[in-house]
Structure 1
Amino acid sequence: MHLQIALMLSIFLLCDAKLPRFKQHTISNGLTNPKQNTQAMRLLQVEAKNEKTSAIVGEYKTRHRRDVFDSKSYESSLTWAHSERLDDNGDVLLRWVNSDSSITFRLEARTRGYVALGFNSARNVRGADLVVAWVDDRNGNAQILDCHGPDYQDLPVADDVQNYELISGYQNDTHTTIEFRRQLDTCDKQDFVIGEDTTQILWALGPDGSDGDLPKQVKSSNRPLRLLLPVSKPDSIPLRHWDVRFNNLTIPHDMATLFWCKVFKAPDLAKKHHIVGYQPIIDSRPIRDGKPVVEKDSLSPVHHMVLYECAEDEDKHLWNNWADTEGYYGPTRPSGWATCARPIAAWAIGSKGEFLPENVGIPLGEKGGVSYYMLEIHYDNQALHEVLDSSGIRVHYTPALRAHDAALLGAGVGVSALHVIPPKQRRYRTVGICSPECTNNTMPEEGINIVSVLLHAHGTARKISLKHVRGTQELPRISQENSYDARYQQSRIVPGGRKFLRGDTLITECTYDSTSRDKPILGGYSAQQEMCLSFILYYPRTELAGCYSMTPVKEFFETFGVKEFSKLSFMQVENIFLSSGNFENLPPQPDFTMKNERDRRYIEDGAVQGDDQGVSLLKDLIIWEPLEFRNKSFMAHLNEMPWAEHLLTEQIEKSLYKGMHMTFCKKRDDSWGVPIQIQNYPNFTEVMDNDTSEKSCHYKSVNLPSSVTKSTTGLGSTKTISSLLLAACAIIMIAR
């Protein structure tokens, strides 16, 4: 009996000694401070992870995984489908190629230390998937380490499971080159799933000699990219090019936003050709002391460019004269240019241009297409520099005709100041509709085939999706971006294409994060404003060029509590917006000071913002009813609304999203496909996102070698021993 008691006491004391002890922090009332306890636990976790990472790195330093690689022999057997300079100087070059399930990278960096590459949905290391690689200076062996960034620190921590496979690595006097491979989805929570969405690519370089010495804090750079892209430029067909560009246009220093338009005559072609791609020409030179100069780090004010077909009339003499001019400021361009309505190329900041899928081409030239085109460039000159600009678009075309004549369709929310995003909102949605009446009256009986989509918005947009509704059922999304970044706007191929029938509905939905804004964001062309658009490439070619919607004027103002304005009826206000701010056909309004086009360029923070799409009007509209808002401008009323009240913004979003929509259906000659209509938001069963659906993994993750596992599992072993001892204690107590 005494022996049994002694044995029990010994085991109990041993169990108690093996259990982890945490020093408790107390506050004045003697109770445990949970916040300090959490911080203490976090510090212990960080210490444990750092210890584990150091052990893994040490193991990698001492072991010899394989001999030095002959990278040239490997390069000859692999064609890199894509390559990007990650930095402006070209010091970090990333090449890659992917299959249906895996992706292979080649990272070339100007360093003889470590190189780190990361993947994240945010622009920082926290929560990122990181791979750190180096070439040992002593033996030339390359090593690679699968890491991640903790949610609360900017440092690399070794993953529990190593899912990156080293292929080759070497260094010369200046550069380190590493090739490695991974699965697109490793089914590891510490790894980033590489998919169709835009990924924030992170990179960091260690100083020379930092082989395996992981930094205590990572200062990474970032760039948005989509990694799963098709191979674009066709190399097997004869290509010609046509440069559509401005000629030394001076961007004034007092214009923060400027739209400029110019007409061009197409090349004189004896037969029909196909446009198969386009690339940007960015040629902007700041003017210093009256002279344009080339500066290495100067940023171009070119924000986006659109090239339109012009459905010209028989007066070729007039169009030739227009083509000989330098162009016009957007709102002052000739009324005849309204027939330049169908986009054929749409470029936005961050894009390298596009090449069309191999089965489609856009007709070019009088014999098969049209004779005149209009280039529209939006300049975002918030820095208020004077710039000499000769930018434009290089159009690639070929006499080798494709199978189908294609066209671009613009869809989404009509660009107008009536497109409002409240401030301080984490996820606020707006929507633009292409109505079934429009598609039913402008598309062929067999419908069209959608092959690619360019989704476009400005800086506060976070998600954009193009929805497809047939009857009362939503079909799978045509295109969707869940990590939208306005710095990177490339079109997206629709896998397998999408059949779109007459009477179907297109819905462009945008989700914005306006938490950094203090005032409402209005729709417009300025980078400080917002858009929500889709540019849809399809075949066969039809007369349809644009299909948009906006909230009807009366419903819009009533949503914000306004029932009547002083001196202007809702009908008059609506006519102003529908005529893009043209006051010519309205009765005289003595209280309005906007007398000419330049005065209508609204001023924000001391800078002229150019074509304002109704912003000035919102500042000059004076509320008459209700009485509580009387004599206040609508813009002042909008700015003073209690946007912090969640129920208010929720109701506004619901009213503008699910309420009435004014729909527009424009043909390529600027005529109406169907008259303007006001209709309810369509009633349909939505497709549910399957992001949370379970995935099955049919491959094994690459585990660490056993020697490394043993050397880094000290903490885990202690926990296991403690658990066994506790179990023994429990068994003895029960037996007793």
Structure 2
Amino acid sequence: MLQFQNSVRTRYLSYSFLLYLASVSVLPNLALAQDTNLDWVSFDRSQFDGNAALDTEGNVQVFWKTGDNYSTYGVASRSEGYLALGFSETGAMTGADIAVGYRNSDGEFVLENRHATDFVTPELSDDQTNNIRLREGSQENGVTAFVFEKKNRADCLENQVDVSTDSWQWFIYAFSDENTFAQHGPGHNGKKYIKLGTGTTISVNEIRDIDGAQNFTIAQPEMTIPTQETTYCYTLHKLPEGNKNFILGERPSSSSDLLHHLVVYACYDLPDSAKSMVGEDPNCDFENFSNPCTGFVTEWAPGMTGRTFEPGFGKPFGSDSYEYVMFETHYNNPDGLDDVSATAAYTFLYNDDQVDTEIGTLTLGDYQVEGWTLEPGQPLVPHSTVCTPECTSRWPSAGITAVSVFFHMHQRGVNQHVQIIRDGVEISPLASIRSFEYGYQFSKSIAEVQLLPGDKLITICEFDTSADDTPVPGGLASRDEMCFAWVDYYPANGVIVCSQLDLGQAPDNPLNGTAALCLDAYNDSMPIYPSDQIDASFTPLEERGNACDVSGDATTDEAPSSAGPAGASPTTGSASLSKGLPVLFGAVVVAATALLVTC
């Protein structure tokens, strides 16, 4: 396989938020119960199929009933002023589509559709009749409550959002005892990740106890963070014995605000020479260290919590797969602080009971990390990589089923999505995220998506470089950029990385230019190979979600959906799209060990 010097993946600086940062909660779709402790809610609760408390005290409640084009929501709070419920891609204000209800000076209940462009006061949307529309509202007896409809698929993605009615949706909320819409008071806000759909849940972004589970912890011993801006540190750990064990839950912890990310890598076929790292102090000489571990187990980044798999699901480890993991910590110290100590750890819940479904993780995106740049001074600059059909053909004959995607960029990241090209035609995307926020990262649960052998996957990241006056490099530092998507799927198989590489134009390199990359945990054959699919054209989906002319009013109960058909438009796209500027590595060394991968 190959070995890259100084290549790596991912994460995050400290970030201050203007309006709110609440603890993450995750709730499944709950059957509505006519519980007497909700009698204070003023509207008819029986019209809804689901209900969840948005706050820990139960003083802010949301109800829902999904429909084909529109879904109905009810929200109530024990407050005497405005109440806002937002639909967010990430749990952040940025990009959120917000319904704000309040009583005006004439005593009328008013519903406004607002859109947040950042952590600032949300702006009134041009569309006040079609995307969000009021059914009923009241403010009395210390309760503000209203019921409204929201379109499932947005007409104008510039200031509206799609709602994940088939899976999990982020809600944000704020309330006040004043009817003047302004910044809420302390503690009068929050966010929650709620399952609206009825499909199978594979994992939840919260820490739960698991009956009968054991636990083990991998930890970075206390160390002094170097004064340099960027530091990556590595410790190697031996996992509990057994042919096949299963990770059932993940619990990260750290003691330092300078932590940018934690990553746990699976070590397949680890050389004996590397095993001497077990029990040693962290190796922070990252510029001269090549990580021999290429599989992805899990990661923590700002905004994330622990994760728990549902009963029947788990990630395998043991002598049948991997027995060692590499623990990576990335510290970002832009102010050169001295004498700052830190510890970090990851605790896993596990057992050796065979699960019904084994979960694997596939790495997509720019595995090379370095060697590309983004044009400065632009509001939206794309960068893409291709996972070619030659690699996906190694999947089981029935294919794999994707269940969640963890998108990752740095602070310039705006949008990201993974396209599926099947038989030369783009079908519905695997997953996407708009209005990416660096401090609000999470594993996005999706309705199950089947991927078939021979599919081509294109990972596209879009960045805002308008504040930069020099080219922005891909790289290890927080000030650089990255583009990754980690896909959890079942059933687990050996393909762990599918991407492409810029091999440069070295005369002794038989694969000049761009080549495909496919890392298989159990097969060393052809990790790098030429492919005509990297630049192959395809027929894209018809564009949707940009009908921003809202001059017409919707008066019917079911307005037509704006979603384009899953067929083809007459134009064609390129599988490589905008692949950054090719520079780099000079010659890639084709070696017998593994890739250095880092975040």
TM-score class normalised by the smaller sequence: 0.5 to 0.7
Where does 1:162-241 land on structure 2 (aligned, <5 Å)?
A: 163=134, 165=136, 180-185=146-151, 192-193=160-161, 195-196=163-164, 206=176, 210=178, 212=179, 214-215=180-181, 232=204, 238-241=212-215
Map of 2:286 onto structure 1: 331
Residue 255 of structure 2 is aligned with which of 275, 278, 283? Answer: 283
Matches within 5 A, 1:269-668: 272-284=244-256, 300-313=257-270, 315=272, 319=275, 321-329=276-284, 331=286, 337-338=291-292, 340-356=293-309, 360-366=313-319, 369-386=321-338, 387-440=340-393, 442-501=394-453, 503-554=454-505, 570-571=506-507, 661-668=514-521
Structure holding more helix per residue = 1
Change (3 A) 1:393 1:100: farther
Q: TM-score w.r.t. structure 2 length?
A: 0.67
1:328–1:180 distance in 2 versus 1, CA, 3 Å: farther
The structure whose Rg is larger is 1
- How far apart, CA to CA, are the structure 1 residues paired with 2:264 and 2:75? 36
**Aligned residue for 1:621?**
none
Q: How many Å separate the matches in 1 of 2:145 and 2:311? A: 31
The superposition leaves residues 153-172 of structure 1 with CA deviations (integer Å, 9 ceiling, x where unpaired) of 9777996785265599865x
Of 80, 93, 100, the residue aligned with 2:66 is 100
Q: Which residue of 2 aligns with 1:682?
A: 536
Q: Kindly state the Cα deviation for residue 311 of structure 1 after the two structures are TM-superposed.
A: 1.8
**What secondary structure is seen at the aligned counterpart in 1 of 2:277?**
helix
Aligned partner of residue 259 in structure 1, secondary structure: strand
| 1:547-575 deviation digits (Å, cap 9, x = unpaired) | 22144424xxxxxxxxxxxxxxx458x89
CA contact (8 A) 2:133 2:148 kept: no
Amino acid across the alignment from 1:147: E
In structure 2, what residue type is equivalent to 1:486? Y
Q: Which amino acid aligns with 2:225?
A: I
Q: Percent identity?
A: 20
The CA deviation at 1:97 is: 5.9
Does the Cα contact within 8 Å between 2:515 and 2:528 map onto a contact in 1?
no
Instruction: State which drifts further: 340-349 or 665-674.
Output: 665-674
**Number of residue pairs matched by the alignment:** 491
Contact 2:364 2:499 (8 Å CA) reproduced: yes
**Native 8 Å contact 2:95 2:435 kept in 1:** no
Q: Greater strand share, 1 or 2?
A: 2
- Provide the residue aligned with 1:44 in structure 2: none
Residue 181 (structure 1) shift:
4.4
Q: Is the Cα–Cα contact under 8 Å of residues 421 and 521 in structure 1 kept in the other structure?
A: yes
Counterpart of 2:217 (choices 224, 240, 243) is: 243
Question: Cα distance, 1:357 vs. partner?
Answer: 5.6
Query: CA, structure 1 residues 495+155, in 2 after alignment: closer, same or farther (shift >3 Å)?
Result: closer
Q: 1:95–1:265: structure 2 CA closer, same or farther, 3 Å change rule?
A: farther
Q: Secondary structure at the match of 2:442?
A: coil
Distance 2:77 2:285 in 1: 44
Per the TM alignment, residue 180 of structure 1 is displaced from its structure 2 partner at its CA by: 5.0
- 2:98 is aligned to 129
- Bigger relative CO (Cα 8 Å, ≥ 6 apart): 2
Question: Distance in 2 between the 1:453 and 1:328 partners?
Answer: 30
SS at match of 2:391: helix
State the distance in 2 between where 1:664 and 1:185 align. 41
Give the distance between the partners of 2:430 and 2:500, measured in 1 at CA.
Answer: 19
The alignment status of 1:265 with 2:265, answered yes or no, reads no
Q: Could you tell me which runs of 5 or more consecutive residues in structure 2 were left unpaired when the two chains were aligned.
A: 1-34, 560-599
Q: Equivalent of 1:699, from 547, 550, 557?
A: 557
In 2, the alpha carbon distance for the partners of 1:351 and 1:412 equals 20
Task: Give the letter aligned to residue 258 of structure 1.
Answer: T
Matched residue of 1:324: which SS?
coil
8 Å CA contact 1:410, 1:535 repeated in 2? yes
How far did residue 407 of structure 1 move?
1.4
Secondary structure, in 3 states, of the residue corresponding to 1:437? Answer: helix
Q: 3-state SS of the aligned residue for 1:538?
A: strand
Aligned-residue Cα RMSD (Å) equals 4.8
Instruction: Name stretches of at least 5 consecutive residues in structure 1 with no aligned partner.
Output: 1-68, 137-141, 172-176, 285-299, 555-569, 579-658, 702-736
Post-superposition offset of 1:478: 0.9
